[in-house]
Amino acid sequence: MSGVLSVIMSVVLSVVLSAVLLFQETPERLDRGRFVFLHFPQDRVLAASLAEHALRTDTFPGLPRPQQRVIIAIAPDREHFRDWVGDAVPEWGSAVAFPASRRIIIQGRGAGSDAGDPRVVLRHELAHLVLHEFLGDLPERWFDEGYASYAAGEWSREDILATNIALAIKGMPTLEELEASFDRGTTAAQSAYALAYRAVAELALANPSAGLGPFLGHWRETRSFERALRLAYGMTSVDFEKRWRQRTRRQYGGLALAGNMTVGALLLLGILAPLYISRRRRDRERLQRMRVADAAAEAAARQSALEALLGEPDPRQPPPS
- Residues 15-42 have pLDDT tens digits of 555 545 444 568 899 999 999 999 999 9
For each of the domains in the chain, give its residue range(s) and CATH number, in order of start: 1-137 (3.40.30.160), 138-271 (no CATH)
Q: Give percent of the chain above pLDDT 90.
A: 48
The H-or-E segment that residue 31 falls in is strand 28-32
Whole-number pLDDT of residue 161: 65
Report the C-alpha gap between 175 and 169 in whole angstroms: 18
Mean pLDDT of 232-243: 95
- For the chain, give the percent of residues with pLDDT over 70: 71
The amino acid that residue 176 corresponds to is E
Q: Is the pTM of this model over 0.95?
A: no
End-to-end CA distance of the chain: 113
Between the alpha carbon of residue 59 and those of residues 64, 130, 142, 289, the distances in Å are 7, 9, 21, 78
Cα 291 off chain centre by: 58
pLDDT of 1 reads: 47
pLDDT band with cut points at 50, 70 and 90 for residue 212: very high
pLDDT at 263: 40
Judged against a pLDDT cut of 70, whether residue 2 lies above it is answered with: no
Band (pLDDT 50/70/90 cuts) for residue 168 is: low
Residue 293 confidence (pLDDT):
72
